[in-house]
Amino acid sequence: MKQKPFTITEKEKELTKSLLKKITETEKEKFSITDLDTVYSFLNKKEIAFLKKLLTINPHDYGIKGEYLGIQDVPKDLVEIKGQRYETDIEEKGYHEIGERYLPNKVYKAYEKMNKAMFKDIGKKLLIASGYRSPAYQLFLLVWYLNMYEFDIGKTLERVAMPGYSEHCVADKVAIDFITEDGVPQEHDDRYFEDTKEYKWLVQNAEKFGFKESYPKDNEFGLMYEPWHWRYIKD
């Protein structure tokens, strides 16, 4: 039996506005460590039904070949990373705070060890633009990008993974999106992470510390090239 295409109604499109407003007002950054049931607790029935409907999207129907990793509980050993900031001369010049980020303890220790080795070799360090994300936060990102791409599901899934498919949501082998101390990559920046000394060092050394580039050019998953995205792969 042929599967019906996934559709989003006009009323559901309107719902995204109220969803994004509520999430923003409740400090979306906290969703990195918030479970789905907690998010559902401050939404109405229609909003919950819409989010649950979104969770039924199958990325494989849109040419995305990522592995289903499962929707896992928020880990209890998360390390909160504070005080990160980068300096940039793009648009708003000066220092910019990144905000709180989170990593499971094992991954955080590996990141710290790798950063020390990088600094010893090339005098540079990497900051964490994004680390662990709860399935609730990943779902928020899905709604945000759907709205940005005018509800084109295919384009959205090329940019952000579904909850259950994102490497940022896997507790023991979580992915990190890196950013340099001078703010590469960032929005509206014509510099490229792949051209940095930090990236070249990662290519040569990251695997020694348990990290692997997830989405190189022309990757098998059909996802956009993300040289800043590295997953922890050690058991």
CA angle (222, 179, 16) in 5-degree steps: 60
Q: Can you name the residues that pair with 178 across neighbouring β-strands?
A: 128
Residue pair 224/216 in contact (Cβ under 8 Å)? The answer is no
10-82+98-232 is classed CATH 3.20.20.70: no
Residue pair 177/102 in contact (Cβ under 8 Å)? The answer is no
What residue has token string 């014509």?
190
Confidence of residue 2 (pLDDT cuts 50, 70, 90): very low
For residue 45, give the amino acid letter.
K
* Amino acid 67: pLDDT: 85
**pLDDT tens readout for residues 192-218:** 899 999 999 999 999 999 999 998 988
For residue 222, give the amino acid letter.
G
Structure tokens given for 165: 């498919």
Give me the phi and psi of 68, to 5 degrees please: -75, 120
3-class DSSP assignment, residue 80: strand
What residue has token string 């995204």?
16
Cis, bond preceding 216 (omega within 30 deg of 0): no
CA distance 44 to 53: 14
CA distance 182 to 44: 42
pTM, to two decimals = 0.86
Overall average pLDDT of the 156-175 stretch: 91
* Amino acid 93: pLDDT: 73
CA distance 99 to 89: 19
Residue pair 59/162 in contact (Cβ under 8 Å)? The answer is yes
**pLDDT tens readout for residues 9-41:** 999 999 998 888 887 776 555 678 888 898 888
**pLDDT tens readout for residues 80-114:** 999 999 987 766 677 888 989 999 999 999 999 99
- Per DSSP (E only), the strands in the chain are 78-81, 85-88, 94-97, 101-104, 126-130, 175-180, 211-215, 226-232
**pLDDT tens readout for residues 59-84:** 999 988 888 999 999 999 999 999 99
